[in-house]
Chains A and B, each alone.
Chain A
Amino acid sequence: DADVTQTPRNRITKTGKRIMLECSQTKGHDRMYWYRQDPGLGLRLIYYSFDVKDINKGEISDGYSVSRQAQAKFSLSLESAIPNQTALYFCATSDFRTAQETQYFGPGTRLLVL
């Protein structure tokens, strides 16, 4: 969905480095999510936010932190990257007003930690 953008699209980093992945949306949605996907697997939820002042841990939050700087922006940080954080990372949004929770995904960021 072009209304949800992620930067960078690809990133190579070294163990121990701090990196940030950014997500922006123009859909006007209040809810935003970060997921990771490992090869051949489904998505696992890292963090989610229902509003600018709302941050919630997901299934696999250890080693990650997030910041909801504005309604349209939700960034994910890896405090000290490790190789098993190599994965495909997706940002998603949804609109509570539709009461359906359909999520709209960004194109993904492919992260390689050496």
Chain B
Amino acid sequence: SQQGEEDPQALSIQEGENATMNCSYKTSINNLQWYRQNSGRGLVHLILIRSNEREKHSGRLRVTLDTSKKSSSLLITASRAADTASYFCAHTGRRALTFGSGTRLQVQP
């Protein structure tokens, strides 16, 4: 069974608004990553945050990590219609990545 849960499962916002997605996990991690998937396509890596980091930025993306709560969040600022996709968190376990169930983001133009 998957070891990550994401919240919300689906999110619909207007263009220009911010989108926040949350991820929880159950085990100790080395790092946590966020990936994006356009419908039916392969996943694309967005950003990685190490277990000793609390916050990281990349362009319009901001990721936070709280290892005490075993949770992470992804914030997309000033969203665009092109941000419409599914977003997955994944953490490195003992040998391979474990993916969450994903958040489907719809950005209305």
Q: Footprint of B on A, CB under 8 Å? A: 1, 4, 33, 35, 41-45, 48, 50, 56, 58-59, 88, 90, 92, 100-108, 110
Q: Produce 1/0 per residue, B69-109, CB < 8 A to A.
A: 00000000000000000001010100111111110000000
Contact assessment for B31 and A105 in the assembled complex, using a CB-CB cutoff below 8 Å: no
Main secondary structure of the interface of A (DSSP, over half): strand
Tell me, rounded to whole Å, the shortest Cβ–Cβ distance linking A54 to chain B: 10
Show 27 A/B contacts (Cβ-Cβ < 8 Å), sorted by A.
A1-B42, A1-B44, A33-B96, A33-B97, A35-B99, A41-B2, A42-B100, A42-B102, A43-B43, A43-B99, A44-B99, A48-B95, A48-B96, A50-B95, A56-B96, A59-B1, A88-B40, A90-B42, A101-B30, A102-B45, A102-B48, A103-B43, A103-B90, A104-B45, A105-B42, A107-B42, A108-B42
Contact residues in A for B90 (Cβ distance below 8 Å) = 103
From residue 24 to 56 of chain B, which have CB atoms closer than 8 A to chain A? 30-31, 33, 40-45, 48
Partner of B41, one of A35, A43, A107: A107
Give Cα A102 to B35, complex, Å: 10
Partner of B2, one of A4, A44, A48, A50: A44
Contact assessment for A101 and B31 in the assembled complex, using a CB-CB cutoff below 8 Å: yes
Q: Footprint of A on B, CB under 8 Å? A: 1-2, 4, 30-31, 33, 40-45, 48, 88, 90, 92, 95-102
Identity of the chain A residue whose Cβ is nearest the Cβ of B92 in the assembled complex: A101
Contact assessment for A56 and B2 in the assembled complex, using a CB-CB cutoff below 8 Å: no
Contact assessment for B95 and A103 in the assembled complex, using a CB-CB cutoff below 8 Å: no
With contact pairs A102-B48, A103-B45 given, residues A41 and B102 touching in the complex (Cβ less than 8 Å): yes
Tell me, rounded to whole Å, the shortest Cβ–Cβ distance linking A11 to chain B: 15
* 6 tightest Cβ-Cβ pairs between the two chains A and B: A105-B42, A42-B99, A43-B99, A42-B101, A105-B43, A102-B45
Contact residues in B for A105 (Cβ distance below 8 Å) = 42-44
Give Cα A28 to B42, complex, Å: 19
Contact residues in B for A102 (Cβ distance below 8 Å) = 33, 45, 48
Which of B95, B97, B98, B102 has the most chain A CB atoms closer than 10 A to its own CB?
A: B97
